[in-house]
């Protein structure tokens, strides 16, 4: 009997220990979700600029989805009238071109390419700048001298002529490769700016305390340095994305980049050559891609302005605290009613 009781007690202890481990794992997942997903979402959604920016960007993402799933007609000459004005024929809501091509189809067909190129350019420019700026600013010494010398070399190269030479040499047709080429040396100036901020952050008392306790350099950079520079990085990510849009459209417009497919710059070029800038009848052909370009840039700017609140710990703590108190009051009132 004693043996059975001992084995049963061991079984209970083993099960309780397993249960506690399971609970602790679940608690860690809930805490990660709260900090990484819930709190940023609450803070971002509390800003009207962020909500409006997300709405604008959602329209472009939806257009990309429409193109990828083939839910709209291809941009090819049709039986529609030539140069139909916008909102006159709802089968062609944005009007048509000189050849009777649906302008909405042209914009939708170009959207996946543009979005891929913009994301690639922004990620490349800011990603390299973050690595260069944080490592150079935090390590200092010989590492800082070498990295900044390389950065200065790229800053000394004129950006636009370099991009034109690379575009003519490689004739990039892949949107990701094109985004990297357009921002090939954009990271240099941003990396130096990030370095200057890291130089001041590394002298803060909490960073000194982390170094004293033997915290590894990657962890200090990830936990103490990056959160403080992320608002600045997000703003510059948007600036890099806008630069990618404008540079690509400009180079397509002047014919430097190859016409591998539909693009807002190609549409502008065709509209300009067909008198879209000089005749009222074809003006919408010229304005539609311009509005698409401005709309995407404006949406990115609004979202970046809201991102500052996510990385501001005071605002984040206050807003998430208010949200949790509202939820508690709602649950309490619901319980009382029941």
What is the C-alpha end-to-end distance of the chain, expressed in Å?
A: 49
138 Ramachandran zone, left/alpha/beta (phi>0; psi -120 to 50)? alpha
Backbone angles phi, psi at 291, to 5 degrees: -65, -40
Cβ atoms of 92 and 103 closer than 8 Å: yes
Determine the Cα angle at 203 with ends 200 and 204, to 5°: 95
The pLDDT tens digits along the chain (338 residues) read: 444 444 444 444 444 444 444 457 777 777 777 777 777 777 777 888 888 999 999 999 999 999 999 888 888 877 678 889 999 888 899 999 988 899 999 999 999 999 999 999 999 999 999 999 999 999 889 999 999 999 999 999 888 889 999 988 988 889 999 999 999 999 999 999 999 999 989 888 888 888 888 888 888 888 888 888 888 888 889 889 999 999 998 898 888 888 766 789 889 988 888 888 788 888 899 999 999 999 999 999 888 877 767 766 555 555 555 544 544 444 444 444 44
DSSP 81: P
pLDDT score recorded for residue 182: 93
DSSP 228-274: HHHHHHHHHHHHHHHHHHHHHHHHHHTT-S---S--HHHHHHHHHHT
CA distance 337 to 296: 47
Alpha-carbon torsion 147, 152, 153, 158, what sign?
A: positive
CA distance 95 to 82: 9
* CATH topology classification for 46-337: MetI-like fold (1.10.3720)
Cβ atoms of 265 and 252 closer than 8 Å: yes
Q: 233-275, pLDDT tens digit by residue?
A: 888 898 899 999 999 988 988 888 887 667 898 899 888 888 8
Place of tokens 């001298």: 145
**CA distances to 147, 162, 209, 252, 337 from 191, in Å:** 10, 19, 26, 28, 57
CA distance 315 to 322: 11
Q: 3-class SS at 71?
A: coil
């Amino acid at each position: 009997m004693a043996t059975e009781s001992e084995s049963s007690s061991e079984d209970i202890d083993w099960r309780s220990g397993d249960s506690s481990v399971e609970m602790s794992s679940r608690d860690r997942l809930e805490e990660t979700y709260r900090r990484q997903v819930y709190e940023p979402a609450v803070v971002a959604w509390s800003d009207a600029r962020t909500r409006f920016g997300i709405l604008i960007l959602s329209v472009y993402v939806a257009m990309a989805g429409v193109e990828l799933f083939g839910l709209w007609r291809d941009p090819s000459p049709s039986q529609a009238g030539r140069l139909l004005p916008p909102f006159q024929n709802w089968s062609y809501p944005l009007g048509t071109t000189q050849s009777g091509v649906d302008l909405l189809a042209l914009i939708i067909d170009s959207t996946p390419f543009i979005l891929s190129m913009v994301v690639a350019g922004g990620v490349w420019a800011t990603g390299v700048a973050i690595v260069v700026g944080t490592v150079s600013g935090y390590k200092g010494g010989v590492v800082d001298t070498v990295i900044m010398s390389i950065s200065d070399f790229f800053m000394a190269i004129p950006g636009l002529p370099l991009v034109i030479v690379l575009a003519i040499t490689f004739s990039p047709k892949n949107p990701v490769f094109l985004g990297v080429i357009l921002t090939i040396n954009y990271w240099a100036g941003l990396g130096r700016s990030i370095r200057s901020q890291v130089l001041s952050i590394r002298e803060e008392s909490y960073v000194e305390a982390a170094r004293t306790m033997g915290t590894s350099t990657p962890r200090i950079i990830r936990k103490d340095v990056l959160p403080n520079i992320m608002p600045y990085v997000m703003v510059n990510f948007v600036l890099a994305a806008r630069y990618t849009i404008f540079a690509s459209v400009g180079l397509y417009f002047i014919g430097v980049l190859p016409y591998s497919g539909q693009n807002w710059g190609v549409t502008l070029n065709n509209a300009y050559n067909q008198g879209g800038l000089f005749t009222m009848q074809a003006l919408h052909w010229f304005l539609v891609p311009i509005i698409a370009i401005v709309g995407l840039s404006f949406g990115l700017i609004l979202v970046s302005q809201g991102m500052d609140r996510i990385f501001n710990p005071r605002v984040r703590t206050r807003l998430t605290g208010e949200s949790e108190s509202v939820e508690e009051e709602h649950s309490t009132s619901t319980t009382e009613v029941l």
